[in-house]
Structure 1
Amino acid sequence: MAKRMYDINDENIEITKLIKHDSESINCQTVDSDTLNKIRNFDLKKRKKLGTKKVIAICTSVAACVAVAVVALVWNNISINNGVVYIPTKSVAKQSKMASSYSEIYSRMRKAKGVDFSEKENSIIEGIANSGNMKTASSDSASPGGSVGGSKNYSDTNEQTKDVHEADVVKTDGSYIYSLNVDKMVVTIVKVSGKKMEKVSTIKIPKVKKTFVNQADMYYIEDKLIIIENSNKTDAVSTYGVEDVARSGPCETIILTYNIKDREKPVLVSTNHQDGYYNSSRLNGDYIYTVSIKEMDNTLKEDSCVPKVNGELISYDQVYLPKVIEGATYTVITSMNITKPSDFSEKVAVAGGVDYVYASKENIYIAENTTTNEDIKNTKYGKKIWSKYKGEKVKETSKNLSAKKIKKLREIYDENQFDLSKVTEVKKQSVFLDKNTINIIKYKYKNGKLEYVSDNKINGRLDDNLSMDEKDGYLRLVSTNLDFAYVGVKRIIYDNNGKKIVDYVDESYYSDESQKQSNNVYVLDSKLKEVAHIDNIAKNEEIYAARFMGDYGYFVTYENKDPLFTVDFSDIRNPKIIGKLKLPGFSDYLHFYNSNLLFGLGEETENNCLKMEMYNISKGKAKRVSKKLLKGFESSQALYDYKSILVNEEKNIIGFYASYYGKQSEDMRDCYLLYTYEKGEFKQLAKVKLGVESYDTRGLYIDDYFYIVTPYTGIKVLDLRTKEQVANIKF
């Protein structure tokens, strides 16, 4: 490895060959300083001014001309540690950028793939190590579509950001209810008028043979139904009713658009595909933005090193390469104009994964919870842990791998990258710290265009997308540190040149029981640069819920008590915690009932049941004004999926699905609960027995009628004036 940026070595030459290969067919052009500046600051708007073909030709030519002096030599400073590619020097800060060629992407992703363990690689490495398992490190809003002559007084999906719509399994336009049965992939369309209901048609969604659809969502807008499904060759496992999508095998996100102007005869007008399993989506204006996650397999090649959209590779200049790439995974983002759904308007990719998506009206934030592994034996904290460890002390060993095991390594690793003529394994015992971090990437979006803005890494883990919120161009968020220190054994594999191929912690013996959890408040500016940070909040507790409104943010932590914290963001660069309310149990979901009241739904641990609480927040600080225990009810999908709850001040109703574990027969355990809030108290309006377990059950109102929709069975109707069930239709 070169000691200086301008030294030449074999690795640099190999990288240069890759770039040369990509640019051999391109004629070099004379590039003036103005054009070079445009290239350096290249974005979608500037591409229009320069012309796409000219930009690609110039960029590739420039890359070839300066490869030895800049690109290839920068890569020499990359180091790899426990599944993470690190770039430590200031000189490689520009490594975060849009790719300049498929060759560059291939090289970077091969490096990431070299330390990413697929199921196949796990078995190979385990065989090499000859040891045990490896240790790897809202608001309620109206429907976006117009009604078709029906009522305009109706509810729709509970969403995080006003006017930024989210998909769900049940939708309405005030005249019809659309219900998606994910198990059978069928949409039932029911015409409703008060207590009158009529099933008018059923859409049988086409299915790819020998695949499973384990997740699906739906939008209604302007006489169209847009259905987004996740198609996989491996069936999914359901956790809390939310599909825990299996990632093995080819995954594809499919977007189907139906014209339902004639509700009795829906017509499929377009089908679009993007690689990866479906993560999330948003509808803003006339465009749907869909996020999927593509995990590259062991056949990663230069001509297939990026995901495909509608069968074509995403253009390399629309692939963002962060400074740190953690595994050969991509986040794919597309936009589709619902008025012209025949193809995607925009297709971009980010090297890296995503857990949560938050969209303001102008920006999309993709966030991934990650864990890095650090050797801390020589630190003060590490020495303390080592001194307490009384178990077996393992001596450092080194041995050469057999030809048989090296042959297995060749199935995974590129011999152009590593010299596998001889491979050495080093076994080392030390003290390690698994540290939680969050990767955040920001894209600006408008009218279907997606423009990369910035990225950053901060400490902790996000609870969900409600832990993030944008105000006046700043991103404010809360996170939990769940760092974990322990004594373990690391195995490091080196090639013949002493270059590290991979390392991993194979065994752990002793963990630090005194390790403390804590929580953070962050404020990041428009470029995601940290401008404020409050840390060490609520030690030994974890964030369970968060919500932001105006100048204030609220979050709940839990261990034995339920501290509801209030953060004052009126001085956005100097946030302050101004309130801490301790109560039994915890809230798992927070919702602003109005500008003065905050509703909380959670669990009362002392009584082992659900609870509802209302807090007065008129003066910023939260003060509890009401509480109701739902004895016998121990779980609700609303604790995990905010789309399943309806909270509406206009109608003064709160509705959600809940499971009852009291002394009841099986058909009485699953209920839909409907409450009102009057004179400072929660009052039950209805308890409707569903007779079936269905986490996809949704409640919505149209005028004075409340519809409880269970996609697998049918719809029950309540008259909100009499609180009586007045109708029922079965699917």
Structure 2
Amino acid sequence: MKKLLTSKGWLTGILALTLFSAGCISSVGASATAADTQKELSVVGSYANLKKLVEKARTENDLTLYGGVRRDRLFTTAAPTQAPKAEASKSAAADGSALASGDYSKTNVQVDGVDEADIVKTDGRYIYQVNKQRVVIAEAYPPEEMKLAATINLEDQPLSPREIYVDKDYLVVIGDSRYDTPVLVPEIGAQSKMLPGWRRPPYHPYPLYGSVKALIYDIRDKGNIRKTREVELEGNYVSSRKIDASLYLVTDRQLGYYLPETEDPTILPWYKDSVSGTEKILMSYDKIRCFPDFVQPNYLLVAGFDVTDTSRKVNVSTYLGSGQEVYASLQNLYVAVTHYQRQAHSGITVPYGGQAAEKTRLYKFRLNQANISYQEQGEVPGRILNQFSMDESGDYFRVATTVGSPWEQGEGTSKNNLYILNSHLTQVGKLEGIAPGEQIYSVRFMGERAYVVTFRTVDPLFVIDLKVPQTPKILGALKIPGYSNYLHPYDENHIIGFGKDTVEQVQKDSQGNEVGVSAFYLGMKMAIFDVTDVNHPVEQFTANIGDRGTDSDLLHNHKAMLFDKQKNLLAFPVRVMVVDSNHQEQSGIPEYGTFTFQGAYVYRVDLEKGFELKGKITHLTQEDYDKAGMYWYNSDNDIQRILYVGDTLYTLSNNKIKANAIVDLKDQGTLTIK
């Protein structure tokens, strides 16, 4: 059986990435609106200078990985790409839908007013769903008469849809386009005819990359949905955000540490905007800016455009650098990337056991009606967990990090930190060395407080005071079994944690002497923490689901949760595993359960009774359960998301949309999607 703990996020940055001086050759003037001044950044300027920068990075980084094929010797060339006024729908007031009143659920986002893309959206009358190679649009109201209103089929495009936005009259589909681009390395395999001196390896050692597309559709007339725009950025999808009608898209385009001796046009990143035509627009060297002391030689592309206005071209900026996580407020976008700095005494950079100095670089961009202007950069020690590790509050930016490994002793052991930066991303306050030997599993910033969960064998919930930015301090801590992967605010003094329950096991040597304690995860656990007394937080209510092996998308993606405090409603998809009550444990290690359920768990939640299970909804048939055996893998009948419109709860899988009354979960109708 597997142990509970792996070094979560520890190998994310397995590449050895050393900071090096950018050395860019010229300066670019400010190009911004009157409201925003873009800080001047140097530019790459020429291919010769780019090659010099990359060569400097290569000589300072040397790590052999994956069967002797060095990732820092990869170079990928890009392949060529593949190639009347709508009638308004009936008014919401006329059809009685929830569109007019706004009584429908929204995507669970980190910052109010900053929308995040998801696989399901609703506008109060229609439900929009990414469903394999298509987007399904279902008329959900009234629930007894659900019907398929339209389907946007994307099978004929080199696009894998992954997320959507819905903005009143417009639908945005974001997806990946993958191209068969050859990966070239020096002196391996047969001679390449494309680039002299380069050879094609006998296999592709790493995934190929392509581009990210945003397709905009006018959806006012569901019988005549029209694509109005297509924006495409080269690179891998990092993230996106939408503020009102402004969509911001971030991609990371790999460059590699080895470039050919002579310039090749595929070195330059590109973008496309159907407003400007069908051809690729290359970012010339004098348009590629350099982050000072950039982390690694990738291209970071940041784009902004108005989804409702096709008279304005997309704004695209390219930087020599990279990005991994994104946080956005209403005014600013922050891109974070973790790197590992070489230790001087060893000359080797490896992210293991304290051998590397971990740093997280932060880049700040000002957002203003689809315009983007670079502002500042900063750096903090350690690695972040995810977007919830970052937060903007007024003129300050807060970041929680972990450094080191929980599996090491002494100086190499993990420690957790919280840093407060000013508007220029200069550190003004810090709290370091929290919970040595543990690592961060979840973070939530709420105004003048931060809640941080660390874990190794127990779950300490730390309440941290941020009122004075220069002197953050721990107010209280609660140690309980289990851990929380996600924290969600209930109100000012209560927070809900979602994670796993755990059990401790004493480890003994061959002579029976105790040598340590291990922890193993069990089923899913929810808890309401009362932090009214900040010095003594309390686990007020708990609820458990299933046994070892039970899992929920909510533990990995906050968008999978439906929560409405006014309706006392909490729901999420879950796969339940249960251990046979007659099973006798032999090894002392908790056994994995067998599959018993996949679907939605729906709760009534309040501060009087805590979690009350109202019921369960599944799309699986009896035949599905009969075929499942001990384990269950992804099925088109698996419920992925739950939302509500008015008094009706909707559960969505690839095969069905089911409607149930929120009050008693009475069946109100089913739409089969073929």
> What TM bracket, shorter-length normalisation?
0.7 to 0.9
Aligned pairs for 1:102-113 within 5 A = 102-103=46-47, 104-105=49-50, 107-112=52-57
- 8 A contact 1:102–1:302 mirrored in 2: no
Q: Describe the shift of the 1:371–1:153 C-alpha distance in structure 2 as closer, same or farther (beyond 3 A).
A: same
1:558 shift after superposition: 0.4
The separation in 2 between residues aligned to 1:221 and 1:247, in whole angstroms, is 37
Q: Is the 8 A contact 1:521 1:533 kept in 2?
A: yes
**Structure 2 CA distance, aligned partners of 1:537 and 1:308?**
44
- Residue 494 (structure 2) pairs with residue 597 (structure 1): yes
Query: Could you tell me which of 525, 530, 539 is aligned with 1:611?
Result: 525
Aligned residues: 547
Counterpart for residue 74 of structure 1: none
In structure 2, relative to structure 1, the CA distance for the partners of 1:146 and 1:597 (3 Å cut) is: farther
Counterparts of 1:573 and 1:175 in 2: how far apart (Å)? 48
Structure-1 residue corresponding to 2:146: 197
> Cα 1:327–1:282, aligned 2, differ >3 Å: closer, same or farther?
same
- Rounded Cα–Cα distance in structure 1 between residues aligned with 2:545 and 2:406: 36
User: Deviations 1:53-94 (Å, cap 9, x if unpaired)?
Assistant: xxxxxxxxxxxxxxxxxxxxxxxxxxxxxxxxxxxxxxxxx9
Is contact 1:98-1:317 (8 Å) kept?
A: no
Query: Which stretch shows the higher mean deviation, 437-446 or 694-703?
Result: 694-703
> 1:487-519: per-residue Cα shift (whole Å, max 9, x none)?
xxxxxxxxxxxxxxxxxxxxxxxx867731110
- Alpha-carbon separation, structure 1, partners of 2:108 and 2:531: 21
User: Shift of residue 726 of structure 1?
Assistant: 2.5
Shift of 1:372: 1.9
Which residue number corresponds to residue 533 of structure 1?
Answer: 430
Instruction: Report deviation, 1:327.
Output: 3.4
Which protein is bigger by CA-based radius of gyration? Answer: 1
Do residues 640 (structure 1) and 556 (structure 2) align? yes
Measure how far apart 1:324 and its partner are.
2.6
1:713 deviation in Å? Answer: 1.2
Task: Confirm or deny: 8 A CA contact 2:133 2:155 kept in the other structure.
Answer: no
2:30 corresponds, among 36, 42, 46, to: 42
Deviation at residue 458 of structure 1 after TM alignment: 1.3
The residue that corresponds to 1:308 in the other structure is 270
- In structure 1, what is the equivalent of residue 13 of structure 2? none
Q: Which residue of the partner structure matches residue 602 of structure 2?
A: 674
Is 1:450 matched up with 2:347?
A: no
Cα shift at 1:332 = 0.9
1:73 equivalent in structure 2:
none
Q: 1:702 to 1:320 in 2, by over 3 A?
A: same
1:220-278, Cα deviation, whole Å (9 max, x unpaired): 0021110010122479xxxxxxxxxx963241001111111111221112211110011
Instruction: Please say if 1:177 is aligned against 2:127.
Output: yes
- Matched residue, 1:65: none
**2:123–2:168 Cα contact (<8 Å) kept:** no
Structure 1 residue 168 corresponds to structure 2 residue 110: no
Q: Distance in 2 between matches of 1:528 and 1:49?
A: 17
What residue identity is the alignment partner of 1:697?
Q
| CA drift at 1:192 | 2.5
CA contact 1:281–1:291 (8 Å) conserved in 2? yes
In the alignment, the residues of structure 1 paired with residue 525 and residue 70 of structure 2 have an alpha-carbon distance, to the nearest angstrom, of: 48
Residues 158-202 of structure 1 deviation map (CA, whole Å, 9 limit, x = unaligned): 000000001111000000001111x32343433422333111111
Amino acid at match of 1:616: D
Residue 373 of structure 1: how far off its partner (Å) = 2.5
Q: CA deviation at 1:457?
A: 1.9
TM-score, normalised on structure 2? 0.74
Q: How does 1:472-551 map onto structure 2 within 5 Å?
A: 472-482=394-404, 515-551=412-448
**Does residue 715 of the first structure (1) align with residue 657 of the second (2)?**
yes
Listed as ranges, the matches of 1:201-280 within 5 Å are: 201-205=150-154, 207-209=156-158, 213=160, 216-233=162-179, 248-280=207-239
Could you tell me which amino acid in structure 2 is paired with residue 248 of structure 1? P
Q: How far apart are residue 306 of structure 1 and its match?
A: 3.7
Determine helix, strand or coil for the equivalent of 2:667.
strand
- Contact 1:593/1:647, CA 8 A, preserved across alignment: no
Q: Does 1:687 align with 2:616?
A: yes
Q: Does 1:440 align with 2:356?
A: no
1:368 pairs with 2:337: yes
TM-score for both structures, normalised by structure 1: 0.68
Match of 2:539 among 624, 641, 645: 624
Q: Structure 1, residues 305-326: CA drift from partner, whole Å, max 9, x if none?
A: 4421111123556533123334
Change (3 A) 1:146 1:118: farther
Pairwise CA distance, 1:577: 0.8
CA gap of 1:196–1:115, structure 2 versus 1, over 3 A, is: farther
Query: CA shift at 1:109, angstroms?
Result: 4.0
User: Are the structure 2 counterparts of residues 682 and 535 from structure 1 closer, same or farther at C-alpha, using a change threshold of 3 Å?
Assistant: same
Conserved 8 A contact 1:376-1:433? no
Note the C-alpha offset of 1:349.
Answer: 2.0
Letter aligned with residue 684 of structure 1 = L
Aligned partners of 1:675 and 1:686 also within 8 Å: yes
2:668 corresponds in structure 1 to 726
Partner of residue 248 from structure 2, selected from 269, 289, 294: 289
Q: Distance in 2 between matches of 1:667 and 1:223?
A: 42
> What is the CA-CA distance between 1:117 and the residue it aligns to?
8.0
Q: Which amino acid aligns with 1:288?
A: L
SS at match of 1:452: strand
Distance 1:467 1:666 in 2: 34
Residues in 2 aligned to 1:227 and 1:119: alpha-carbon distance in whole angstroms: 39
Provide the secondary structure at the position in 2 that maps to 1:593. Answer: strand
User: SS where residue 325 of structure 1 aligns?
Assistant: coil
Distance 2:390 2:475 in 1: 19
Match of 1:507 in 2: none
- Kindly tell me: are residues 335 and 48 of structure 1, through their superposed partners in 2, closer, same or farther at Cα, counting changes over 3 Å? closer
How far off its partner does 1:567 sit?
A: 0.8
Amino acid at match of 1:461: R
3-state SS in 2 of match to 1:108: helix
Shift of 1:360: 0.9
State the alpha-carbon separation in 2 of the partners of residues 124 and 699 from structure 1. Answer: 44
Deviation of 1:350 (Å): 2.5
Structure 1 contact 625–680 (Cα < 8 Å) conserved = no
Report the CA distance shift for 1:631/1:517 in structure 2 as closer, same or farther (over 3 A): same
Mapping of 1:687-706 within 5 angstroms?
A: 687-691=616-620, 693=634, 697-706=640-649
Quote the offset at 1:370 in angstroms. 1.7
Q: CA deviation at 1:127?
A: 14
**Cα distance, 1:46 vs structure 2:** 7.5
Deviations 1:390-425 (A, max 9, x none): xxxxxxxxxxxxxxxxxxxxxxxxxxxxxxxxxxxx
Mapped contact 2:598–2:639 kept (Cα < 8 A): no
How many angstroms does 1:368 deviate by?
1.0
Counterpart contact for 1:358–1:364, Cα < 8 Å = yes
Could you list the per-position Cα deviations for residues 609-659 of structure 1 after superposition, in whole angstroms to 9, with x for gaps in the alignment? 111111123354532211111233721110110011112101111111111
Instruction: Give the SS at the match of 2:230.
Output: strand
Please tell me the root mean square deviation across aligned C-alpha atoms, in Å: 3.7
**Matched residues in 2 for 1:188 and 1:613: separation?**
36
Gaps of 5+ in 2: 1-21, 74-88, 182-204, 273-279, 504-520, 581-592, 625-633
Structure 2 Cα separation of the partners of residues 109 and 146 of structure 1? 57
Equivalent pair of 1:99/1:105 in contact (CA under 8 Å): no
SS in 1 for 2:53: helix
In structure 2, the partner of 1:411 is none
